[in-house]
Chain A
């Protein structure tokens, strides 16, 4: 039997205002979790997610933080714990792309992607450990990686490296925290209908579609469902990478 009841739990989602983060936040809230909506730039979008959650009787808190900055992550976790008195679930979703062929890539493009996508995961995980361990009631960490981090993707050396790093980091953390009933998993979305893929040219989209067995892009909600599963009933799954990509061959 699948039990996806998160009543009494608190979940924090980074990059929660749009795309996969938004769908995940709404799903966790519908399952009963109190949610912390983190965003870095789009305050209006974050507030809209909060409003939607409060509309169906859930509770939510909006906190601005740039995950590439450790002290901001510390404040983010502190705000969450101060407000909801506990923290149980962390979804590291915040991510950016700065696509370019390596031959043309600027150091800033490399650095910005690593800072947000990889260092951001380290920052939030590091900051949440103390309150999580102190609670002594287990926990769930779900990191949003990417198929690019498994297979590589031309034009995304920075993004693929950051996501590959997230995968290895997740597997390691799963080993370190297993004895405390804290599970750590990664999901690896393929091409999902978000602002991140909106920027792809029609020609590029055609080419991508021909490589997806299911013949369509995924929906944010389809990734959110997997994250919800990992955050709730999947108590005996840890250190895994779950591809949500419609069977994409890269």
Chain B
């Protein structure tokens, strides 16, 4: 499974949105994610990909594409 589809699955699961509603351009604002949603998503990503995402890095993640790009740079 590609990083992109894995990331989409996790986002869909965490934020309770349909996976086919997600594109790389989808922002977290588009899917009404609040700050705690983002924290939960980060926790899930950290577990799935076995990495630690800093607060600073979280600030730069605004869209599904941002997450994919970030994960791809780390794994």
Which residues in A have some Cβ–Cβ distance to B below 8 Å? Answer: 130, 133-134, 176-177, 179-180
Contact = CB atoms under 8 A, between A and B. Distances in A.
B43 A130 contact: yes
Given A133-B36, A179-B34, A179-B36, 10 more contacts: A130-B43, A133-B39, A133-B40, A133-B43, A134-B40, A134-B43, A134-B44, A176-B36, A177-B36, A180-B36
Main secondary structure of the interface of A (DSSP, over half): helix
Interface residues of B, number: 6
Interface in B11-45: 34, 36, 39-40, 43-44
A244 to B, nearest CB: 31
A7 to B, nearest CB: 27
Interface of B: 34, 36, 39-40, 43-44
13 contacts: A130-B43, A133-B36, A133-B39, A133-B40, A133-B43, A134-B40, A134-B43, A134-B44, A176-B36, A177-B36, A179-B34, A179-B36, A180-B36
Contacts of A177: 36
Nearest to A179: B36
A133 B44 CA distance: 10
A176 B34 CA distance: 11
A179 B43 CA distance: 17
Nearest to A133: B40
Contacts of B34: 179
Contacts of A179: 34, 36
